[in-house]
Amino acid sequence: MREHTYREGLVTFGDDLSIWDRVFTVNPLVLVGTREPESGYDLAPKHMATPMGWENYFGFVCTPRHATYANARREGAFTVSYPRPTQVVLTSLAAAPRDRDGSKPLVEALPTFPASVVDGVFVEDAYLFLECALDRVVDDFGENSLIVGRVVAAHAREDHLRASEVDDQDLIHSSPLLAYLSPGRYTQVSESYSFPFPTNFMR
């Protein structure tokens, strides 16, 4: 079914058209790290990534065609680095294609440090780091899959930690956040406002 108008001012998409290429949406941008089959580690940018509920679970969307999928399933673990706005170019380099021998020299050149619990690495100078043990893989979202891990260790930079003596807006202003505006753009979040929750609201 092609595009059509069912209400003035709205364009309706048929299920044969991609919704996500027609409008911008705000997403996180993370680097998922996995161990390669022989040696070394892979880092791949992901924007369809989010906590899975209020407990310590984290998930991201990946296609089985990518090494990240195979590595996470085989090794049973992955890491997540949340880059800062100053690391956009570095994050982009992690998406570079592999050489003929399957290596990713640009990724191997990125500054990293080892995770503390799982077998993996983090990207230096990011602000939030998650170590995840693979919990489940849910296939068949079209050609994509949802990979979910249980967070077994987490680390954050001191300058990004919320504290009672620091106003949240001041924290975000001094330590901006990177957001991916899909498709193909990014922004820096440095200004925020308190959300007007209803009285007695509970999550």
Cα separation, 96 vs 92, whole angstroms: 7
Cα separation, 15 vs 2, whole angstroms: 8
In a domain, 62, yes or no: yes
Q: Note the residue count of the chain.
A: 203
Band the pLDDT of 2: cuts 50, 70, 90. low
- pLDDT score, position 5: 65
Cα separation, 149 vs 136, whole angstroms: 7
- The DSSP bridge pattern shows strands 144-156 and 128-141 to be antiparallel
CB-based burial, 36-75: b 16+ in 10 Å, e otherwise: beeeebbbbbbbbbeebeeeebbbbebeeebbbbbbbeeb
- The residues facing 141 across adjacent strands are 144
Token readout for 178 is 């990177």
Measured CA distances, 93 to 60, 87, 115, 150 (Å): 19, 10, 21, 27
Task: Check which CATH number belongs to the domain holding 86 and give it.
Answer: 2.30.110.10
In a domain, 9, yes or no: no
In a domain, 150, yes or no: yes
**Domain count of the fold of the chain:** 1
pLDDT in tens, 97-106: 777 777 777 7
Domain that holds residue 99: 25-159+166-189
pLDDT in tens, 31-50: 999 999 988 899 999 999 99
Which run of H or of E encompasses 171? helix 168-174
Q: Which residue has the tokens 């800062």?
A: 84
Q: What percent of the chain has pLDDT over 70?
A: 97
In a domain, 197, yes or no: no
In a domain, 182, yes or no: yes
Q: Strand 41-46's sheet: what is its strand order? A: 41-46, 30-35, 77-82, 128-141, 144-156, 57-62, 49-51
pTM of the model: 0.92
In a domain, 58, yes or no: yes
In a domain, 57, yes or no: yes
In a domain, 131, yes or no: yes
139 closest CA partner among 69, 51, 80, 67: 69
- pLDDT score, position 153: 98
First to last CA, the chain: 38
Q: Which stretches does DSSP call E strand in the chain?
A: 25-27, 30-35, 41-46, 49-51, 57-62, 77-82, 112-114, 121-123, 128-141, 144-156, 177-182, 185-189
- pLDDT score, position 34: 97
